C-alpha cells in the first residue's frame, strides 16, 4: 500500500463523519455570543466557530428563507406581478417593526418585493410575498419549515416570514450559514443581496422608488464604518430577543466565505460605539483571507495507491486516483510532510476488466494521526482482460488453494475406490465366464445344471 503525501487542510473542520476540532482561532476574541465562518462553496469547511449550534431567535435572517421560496416559486420572478393583499399589508398593524409602506392594491413584480425585503428589511413586503406564494402567511410558514427539512437544518424552526421575535422560533449560526450557502447558489438571490441600490419602477399604482442596501458590510459611495471591500451580501438586522445578527458573504482571490454572527451587542472600540456582530464578521473575514488559501491539493491524475489485478492482458496492477480534484482551504504556512492520504479497506486484488473511473475504495486524509476527511478512490485507466491469463490464474488458484486441494484429494480417492470396485467386479465376471466355459467343455465337473430353469418347491417345512 502506497501513501501519498499531499497538502490538505489542518485547521478546524467539522465533518459529519469525523467531527474534529483544531486549535485555530482568530487573533481577536469574539465580542458577540455566537458565530461561524466557513467556505461558501463545496464542502462545509469550518474555519472557526463559537456556540455555532446554540439555538436563538433567527431575527431578520429569516428573510433569507422567505427570499429563497419566492425565487423558487417561479421561473422568472421579474415577470410575476403581485397585487398587495390586505392580509399581507395589514398583518403587522399595531406592531412596531420595519416597514416599507406598501399599500393594499399596489402592484409590484415579485423581484421588486424581494429587493424591497432584502435591502430595506421591509416586513410588510415579506408578508405580501408570503400571501402571494403560500396563499396565506400560515401556509407559507409551513413551506418554510418543509424547506428546512429538505435542507437538513436540524436546529431551525420558523413561525413567521419576517423574523420578528416569536416564542418557539429558533435557528443557529451553523444552520443559517448552510441556508445562506444554499441561497447564494440561486443567481437571482446572489444578485439581489449584493445590490448597493435598486430602483422600483413607476407604474399606475405607485411612483418609482430607489432602495438602498441596509447590510452595512456592503461598500457604498458614502462613508460606512462597517464596510468591507470584499463583502458580497447578505443580510443584517436585530430584534430584542436575538440581538444584532448578520449573515454575510465575502470573496477575494477566488476564495469565498460565509460568516454568521448572532447575539451581537453595542460595544465601545477606541471611544466609538459599534455593533459587535458587524465588527466580528469583518474581523473573521480579514483573519480568514490573511491566513488561509484555496488550493487543489490532489487531482484526478494523482496516484494514491496501486492494487494488484488478476486476468489483465498487459499489466499486473491498477493505479488508484481521487474521483475528482480535491480543492481545499489550506493554512498558508502548512507543513506538507504532516499530511497523508491513506486508502480505507483497499481490496487485496481486483479482477480484469476494470474501467477507468470505477470506484475501488475510500481514502482518509490524516493529519497528526487524526482523520479529517474522506475522498473516493477510482481506477486511473482501463485494464483489459486476457483469456489465457484467466485460465492460467484459475489453474494456479486451484493448485495453491488448500481447500480446493482437499476436495480434489477426496474426489481422487473416491474415484480410485470406484475404479477399484469396477475392476474387481469385472474380474469376478471374467472368472465366472471362464469357469462356465470350462464346465461346458468338460474340463471341470458341473456343480449345478445351469441349463435347467429353476423350480420352486414347497416342502411344508415352515
Confidence category of residue 459, pLDDT binned at 50, 70, 90 = low
CB 335 within 8 A of CB 294: no
What is the enclosing helix (H) or strand (E) of 276?
A: helix 276-291
As a whole number, the mean pLDDT across the chain is 85
pLDDT score of 394 more than 80: no
One CATH from 1.20.1640.10, 3.40.710.10, 3.20.20.70, 3.40.1410.10 for 34-292: 3.40.710.10
pLDDT score of 8 more than 80: no
How far, CA to CA in Å, does 259 sit from each of 11, 217, 256, 262, 338? 17, 12, 10, 10, 29
Q: How much is the pLDDT for 390?
A: 61
CB 396 within 8 A of CB 412: no
Q: Indicate if 299-387 has the same CATH topology as 34-292.
A: no
Query: Mean pLDDT over residues 279-308, rounded?
Result: 87
pLDDT score of 363 more than 70: yes
Q: How much is the pLDDT for 332?
A: 75
For residue 188 the three cell numbers come to: 437571482
What is the enclosing helix (H) or strand (E) of 327?
A: strand 326-331
Task: Give, rounded to a whole angstrom, the gap between the first and last alpha carbons of the chain.
Answer: 86
Among 45-49, 212-216, 254-258, 323-327, whose mean pLDDT is lowest?
Answer: 323-327
How far, CA to CA in Å, does 72 sit from each of 65, 154, 293, 425? 11, 22, 33, 89
Query: Mean pLDDT over residues 282-294, rounded?
Result: 91
Strands 305-310 and 350-351: parallel
Among 5-19, 196-210, 252-266, 372-386, whose mean pLDDT is lowest?
Answer: 5-19
- Percent of all residues in the chain with a pLDDT value above 70, rounded to a whole number: 83
CB atoms inside a 10 Å sphere around CB 300: 13
Q: Per CATH, is 299-387 categorized as 3.40.190.80?
A: no
Confidence category of residue 181, pLDDT binned at 50, 70, 90 = very high
Task: Tell me the domain boundaries of the chain.
Answer: 34-292, 299-387, 401-438
Nearest to 74 by CA among 114, 46, 18: 114
For residue 60 the three cell numbers come to: 431578520
Which is higher by pLDDT, 279 or 422?
A: 279
pLDDT for 62-113, tens place per residue? Answer: 999 999 999 999 999 999 999 999 999 999 999 999 999 999 999 999 999 9
How far, CA to CA in Å, does 254 sit from each of 45, 112, 232? 16, 30, 13
Amino acid at each position: 500500500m502506497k501513501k501519498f503525501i499531499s497538502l490538505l487542510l489542518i485547521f478546524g473542520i467539522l465533518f459529519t463523519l469525523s467531527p474534529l476540532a483544531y486549535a485555530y482561532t482568530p487573533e481577536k476574541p469574539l465580542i458577540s455570543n455566537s458565530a461561524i465562518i466557513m467556505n461558501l462553496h463545496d464542502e462545509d469547511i469550518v474555519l472557526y466557530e463559537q456556540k455555532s449550534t446554540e439555538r436563538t431567535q433567527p431575527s431578520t435572517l429569516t428573510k433569507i428563507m422567505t427570499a429563497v421560496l419566492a425565487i423558487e416559486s417561479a421561473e422568472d420572478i421579474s415577470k410575476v406581478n403581485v397585487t398587495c393583499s390586505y392580509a399581507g399589508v395589514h398583518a403587522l398593524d399595531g406592531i412596531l417593526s420595519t416597514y416599507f409602506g406598501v399599500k393594499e392594491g399596489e402592484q409590484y413584480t415579485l423581484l421588486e418585493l424581494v429587493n424591497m425585503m432584502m435591502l430595506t428589511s421591509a416586513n410588510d413586503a415579506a408578508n405580501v410575498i408570503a400571501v402571494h406564494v403560500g396563499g396565506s402567511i400560515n401556509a407559507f410558514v409551513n413551506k418554510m419549515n418543509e424547506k428546512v427539512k429538505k435542507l437538513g437544518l436540524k436546529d431551525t424552526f420558523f413561525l413567521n416570514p419576517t423574523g420578528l421575535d416569536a416564542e418557539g422560533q429558533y435557528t443557529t449560526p451553523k444552520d443559517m450559514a448552510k441556508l445562506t450557502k444554499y441561497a447564494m447558489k440561486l443567481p437571482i438571490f446572489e444578485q439581489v443581496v449584493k445590490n448597493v441600490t435598486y430602483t422600483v419602477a413607476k407604474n399606475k399604482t405607485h411612483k418609482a422608488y430607489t432602495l438602498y442596501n441596509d447590510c452595512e458590510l456592503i461598500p457604498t459611495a458614502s462613508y460606512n464604518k462597517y464596510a468591507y471591500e470584499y463583502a458580497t451580501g447578505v443580510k443584517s438586522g436585530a430584534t430584542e430577543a436575538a440581538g444584532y445578527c448578520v449573515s454575510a458573504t465575502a470573496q477575494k482571490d477566488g476564495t469565498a466565505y460565509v460568516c454568521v454572527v448572532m447575539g451581537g451587542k453595542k460595544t465601545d472600540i477606541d471611544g466609538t460605539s459599534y455593533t459587535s456582530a458587524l465588527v466580528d464578521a469583518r474581523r473573521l473575514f480579514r483573519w480568514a483571507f490573511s491566513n488561509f488559501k484555496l488550493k487543489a491539493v490532489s487531482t484526478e491524475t494523482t496516484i494514491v495507491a496501486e492494487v494488484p489485478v488478476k486476468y489483465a492482458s498487459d499489466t499486473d496492477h491498477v493505479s488508484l486516483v481521487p474521483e475528482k480534484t480535491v480543492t481545499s482551504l489550506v493554512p498558508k504556512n502548512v507543513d506538507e510532510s504532516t499530511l497523508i492520504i491513506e486508502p480505507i479497506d483497499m481490496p487485496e486484488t481486483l479482477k480484469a476488466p476494470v474501467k477507468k473511473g470505477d470506484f475501488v475504495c475510500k481514502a482518509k486524509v490524516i493529519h497528526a494521526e487524526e482523520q479529517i476527511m474522506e475522498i473516493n478512490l477510482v481506477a486511473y485507466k482501463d485494464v483489459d482482460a486476457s483469456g489465457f491469463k484467466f485460465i492460467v490464474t484459475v489453474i494456479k488458484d486451484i493448485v495453491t488453494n488448500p481447500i480446493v486441494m482437499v476436495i480434489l484429494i477426496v474426489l481422487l480417492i473416491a474415484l480410485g475406490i470406484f475404479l477399484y470396485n469396477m475392476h474387481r467386479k469385472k474380474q469376478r465376471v471374467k472368472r465366472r465366464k471362464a469357469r462356465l466355459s470350462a464346465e461346458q467343455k468338460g474340463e471341470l465337473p458341473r456343480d449345478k445344471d445351469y441349463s435347467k430353469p429353476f423350480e420352486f418347491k414347497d416342502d411344508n417345512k415352515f
